[in-house]
């Protein structure tokens, strides 16, 4: 997204937060393509026969965004962080429902990219990943949120720093620590099964 568009998006988000529904409606065409890219990235890690499509994931996240009180958006990165969090919850809910429907017979899997957690490319149980992130949130909420923003939201280090209100150097340090913890936790979960 170009800087001019980014500034316009931030302005529309602020206006929406102040109750301007026209700003909300003007915002959607500007962010829809980027939200679809985020959704496609998530779904690209899912099994090939996944029943959700990127458009449906974006639309469901949008519906959840607009049915809340007008949010107090800080900027574009904050918006995409919240959208990423909603998409994560939607995918986890979908995975939990599928797991429940199959009575535990194999949860939906997704592959984490090499940059994220594991040294080898492998399938990761989305529900187990969510459980690990929730456990990390109990230990360090900022690191859990950082993983969510970077992995699920696809935010850059700089965008993550803006959303969390910390420096990019701190994001890099926390990212390394959180990845190491998550790698160990996921390995322990695999060993326990």
Q: What is the pLDDT of residues 75-97, one digit of tens each?
A: 888 888 888 888 888 888 887 87
8 Å CB contact between 114 and 86 = no
User: Residue 95: what pLDDT?
Assistant: 78
Q: How many domains does one find in the chain?
A: 1
Q: What is the mean pLDDT of the chain?
A: 78
Q: How high is the pLDDT of residue 122?
A: 47
Domain that residue 125 falls in: 3-192
Q: What percent of the chain is modeled with pLDDT above 90?
A: 9
Q: Which helix (H) or strand (E) holds 63?
A: helix 54-66
Query: Model-level pTM?
Result: 0.59
Q: What is the pLDDT of residue 132?
A: 87
Identify the segments of the chain with pLDDT beneath 70.
1-4, 45-51, 70, 100-124, 192-193
Distance between CA 68 and CA 19 in Å, rounded? 12
Q: How many CA atoms lie within 13 A of 10 on its CB side?
A: 14
C-alpha torsion sign, points 58, 61, 73, 140: negative
| CB within 8 Å of 190: residues ≥ 6 apart | none
């Amino acid at each position: 997204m170009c800087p001019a568009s980014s500034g316009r998006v931030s302005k529309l988000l602020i206006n929406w937060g102040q109750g301007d529904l026209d700003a909300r409606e003007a915002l959607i065409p500007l962010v829809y393509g980027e939200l679809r890219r985020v959704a496609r990235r998530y779904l690209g890690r899912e099994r090939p026969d996944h029943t959700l499509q990127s458009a449906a994931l974006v639309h469901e996240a949008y519906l959840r965004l607009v049915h809340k009180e007008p949010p107090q958006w800080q900027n574009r990165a904050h918006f995409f962080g919240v959208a990423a969090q909603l998409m994560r919850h939607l995918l986890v809910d979908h995975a939990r429902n599928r797991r429940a429907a199959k009575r535990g017979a194999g949860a939906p899997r997704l592959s984490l990219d090499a940059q994220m957690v594991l040294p080898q490319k492998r399938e990761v149980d989305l529900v187990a990943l969510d459980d690990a992130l929730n456990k990390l949130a109990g230990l360090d909420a900022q690191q859990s949120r950082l993983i969510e923003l970077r992995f699920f939201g696809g935010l850059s280090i700089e965008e993550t720093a803006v959303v969390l209100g910390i420096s990019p150097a701190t994001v890099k340090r926390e990212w390394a620590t959180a990845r190491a913890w998550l790698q160990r936790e996921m390995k322990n979960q695999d060993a326990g099964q």
